[in-house]
Amino acid sequence: MFQTDSPALLLSQAWHRPAGCGRRDDMRFGLEPSYDVGLRHALKNGVAILSGEDFDAGRREQVLGGLLELVSQADRGTEALQGNNFTFAMDEGVAFERLSLFLRYLSDTVENLGERISQAKGVLQGVGAGANVEQAQKELVVDLLNRLLDALERERNYS
């Protein structure tokens, strides 16, 4: 039985694993990211939190934790690719999926994507820990999340 309130579960089930890496309990039958309502809501809620909107403490923690997991895994993927780890996709399927999400939707529109993912990780860690994070840093993450949301929406509208 799934723990339905787990942010990791909500985000990990957003898209399917590469062929041969799938497990039935952590995929949604090949659901494309652009059709995953949970992923879009997590991104929208993350934008709202980083923009200063009030959220219930529990929901805030859940959203920030899920987004932090998403960007942390993508950051691990970036590090593996920079280190020319060619078996990364097989060894670290989840991290590969997270990085693939960002590459698929943002590689053409976001410069220094790996660096932006790493910055987002730091900002989300700081905000989640209650640190005083500069507004300019938060805005960079908001921009990244909004670009991802826009790309998901475009794909959903054209498919």
* Structural domain boundaries, residue 39: 7-158
Give the helix, strand, coil percentages of the chain, each rounded to 5.
70, 0, 30
**Nearest-angstrom CA–CA distance, 116 and 138:** 12
In a domain, 1, yes or no: no
In a domain, 2, yes or no: no
Domain count of the fold of the chain: 1
In a domain, 78, yes or no: yes
In a domain, 35, yes or no: yes
> Ramachandran region of residue 30, left (φ > 0), alpha (ψ -120 to 50) or beta?
left
pTM above 0.75, yes or no: yes
* Each residue's pLDDT tens digit, 43-98: 999 999 999 999 999 999 999 999 999 999 999 888 777 666 667 666 777 888 88
In a domain, 115, yes or no: yes
Q: By three-state DSSP, how is residue 22 classified?
A: coil
